[in-house]
């Protein structure tokens, strides 16, 4: 196993593109190192990207924030600007692992691991976050929503890796929230999850909604049919119930040791409803 720590994205891309065997990108390592230790993967090449320029920076950009691919959960959680603008994304990411893991784990890594249960991914999708990708043909942007393809697989081509994630600007009276269900209160993995991002008008009517669900299908699901139920409403009980049902209807889960199809389908609607109410309150609405 070779370990490389390049200092430019071009160098990193070249290493990843030319490796004939199994290559893995290392940032926080909270998935890669665990997988190596458990014998799940035996990479031939590890490319540590933590030496790249701005890879650990959070930079304001066009009213939003660009978050470097090696920014840890602990750093993100202490950033007042991101926390104020996208509280749901930050709370989703901070739910992952222990305090120690938070010191290492990254959102880009959470996305590239490809788990349907990744906590930060539904929140990023609801936020309409855009990943910036470095690759053999140069940099490109891709909505986070389009990156997971199936459990453990992403849309990244050979030689490509994520350098940053962009969380866009948003108007006033807008907020997001994330909730997951786990049997334990922490140190656990989502059985189902829901992220809701809302924009309200001056009288508290919802003008825009993005609802993304996790762990209920092979990849994260953005449920437009659920958004429609609450756009134009003040999140009254009837609309919320319709939204909740639309979420349950969008599920395509599996039965496994963590939960049944029936259970996941039911609780994801409950989570979406509760997350919507939190987001609504954060956005200044009064339910």
Partner 1 sequence: MALDSEKKQVFKVVGTRPARPDGIDKVTGRAMYGADATAPGMLVGRILRSPHAHAIIRSIDTSAAEALKGVKAVVTSADFGAPEDESIRDVQDNCMARGKALYHGHAVAAVAANSAVVASQALKLIKVDYQILPHVTDVDEAMRPGAPVVQADRAFENVAAGFSENVTSQCEFGHGDLEAGFAKADKVIERSFTTAATHQGYIEPHACLASMTPDGKGDLWCCTQGQFHVRTVCAEIMGMDASQLRVTASEIGGGFGGKTTVFIEPVALALSRKSGRPVKIVMTRDEVFKATGPTVSSSMDVKIGMTKDGRITAAQARLRYQAGAFPSETVTYGAQSAFAAYDLKAVETIGWNVLTNRPKEAAYRAPGAPMAIYAVESVVDELCQELSLDPLDVRLKNAADKGTKSSYGPTFEAIGLRATLEAAKAHPHYTAPLGVNQGRGLSCGFWFNFGGNTCVSLNINTDGTVGITEGNPDIGGSRASISQMAAEELGIPYEKVRTIIADTNSLGYNDVTDGSRVTFSVGLATIEAARNAIKVMCGRVAKIWGIDEDAVIWEDGCAKPSGPNAGSFDPMSIEEIAAISANTGGPIAGHFEVNADGAGVSFGVHLADVEVDPETGATKVVRYTVFQDAGKAVHPDYVEGQMQGGAVQGIGWALNEEYIYGKNGLLQNPGFLDYRIPVASDLPDIETVILEIPNPGHPYGVRGVGETPIVPPLAALSNAVSRAIGRRMFELPMSPPKLLKAMSQKR
Q: Could you list the residues that contact partner 1 (CB under 8 A)?
A: 38-39, 181, 183-189, 191, 256-260, 262-263, 266-267, 270
Closest distance of CB 87 from partner 1, Å: 21
What is the nearest approach in angstroms of partner 1 to the Cβ of residue 266?
Answer: 7
Q: Which is nearer to partner 1, 238 or 260 (CB)?
A: 260
* Closest approach of partner 1 to the CB of residue 34, in Å: 10
In this structure, what are the phi and psi dihedrals at residue 184, rounded to the nearest 5 degrees? Answer: -100, 165
Largest CA distance in the chain: 60
* CB-nearer residue toward partner 1: 202 or 237: 237
For the beta carbon of residue 27, count every other beta carbon within 10 angstroms: 28
Residue 192 to residue 174: CA distance in whole angstroms:
24
Closest to partner 1 by CB, 108 vs 191, is 191
Q: How far is the CB of 144 from partner 1 (least distance, A)?
A: 25
Rounded Cα distance, 233 and 230, in Å = 5
Helix (H, G, I), strand (E, B) or coil at 181: strand
Nearer to partner 1 by Cβ, of 78 and 262: the residue is: 262
CB closer to partner 1, 62 vs 185: 185
CB of 253 to partner 1, least distance (A): 12
- Enumerate residues 6+ apart whose C-beta is below 8 A from 149: 114, 155, 219
Cα–Cα distance measured from residue 107 to residue 132, given in angstroms and rounded to the nearest whole number: 13
β-pairing, 148-150 vs 58-61, is unpaired
């Amino acid at each position: 196993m070779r370990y490389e720590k390049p200092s430019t994205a071009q160098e990193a891309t070249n290493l990843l593109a030319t490796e004939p065997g199994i290559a893995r990108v290392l940032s926080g390592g909270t998935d890669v190192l665990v997988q190596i230790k458990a014998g799940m993967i035996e990479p031939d090449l590890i490319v540590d990207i933590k030496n790249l320029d701005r890879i650990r920076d959070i930079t304001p950009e066009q009213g939003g924030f660009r978050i470097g691919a090696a920014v840890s959960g602990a750093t993100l959680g202490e950033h007042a600007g991101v926390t104020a603008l996208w509280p749901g994304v930050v709370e989703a990411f901070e739910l992952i692992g222990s305090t120690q893991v938070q010191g290492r784990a990254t959102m880009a890594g959470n996305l590239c691991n490809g788990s349907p249960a990744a906590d930060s991914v539904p929140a990023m999708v609801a936020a309409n976050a855009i990943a910036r990708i470095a690759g053999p043909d140069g940099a490109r942007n891709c909505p986070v929503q389009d990156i997971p393809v199936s459990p453990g697989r992403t849309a990244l081509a050979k030689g490509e890796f994520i350098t940053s994630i962009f969380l866009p600007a948003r108007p006033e009276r807008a907020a997001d929230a994330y909730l997951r269900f786990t049997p334990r209160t922490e140190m656990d993995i989502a059985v189902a999850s829901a992220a809701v991002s809302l924009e309200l008008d001056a009288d508290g009517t919802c003008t825009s909604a993005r609802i993304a669900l996790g762990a209920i299908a092979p990849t994260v699901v953005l449920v437009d049919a659920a958004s429609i139920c609450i756009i134009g409403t003040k999140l009254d009980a009837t609309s919320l119930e319709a939204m909740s049902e639309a979420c349950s209807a969008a599920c395509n889960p599996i039965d496994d040791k963590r939960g049944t199809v029936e259970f996941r389908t039911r609780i994801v609607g409950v989570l979406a409803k509760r997350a919507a109410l939190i987001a609504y309150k954060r956005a200044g609405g009064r339910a």
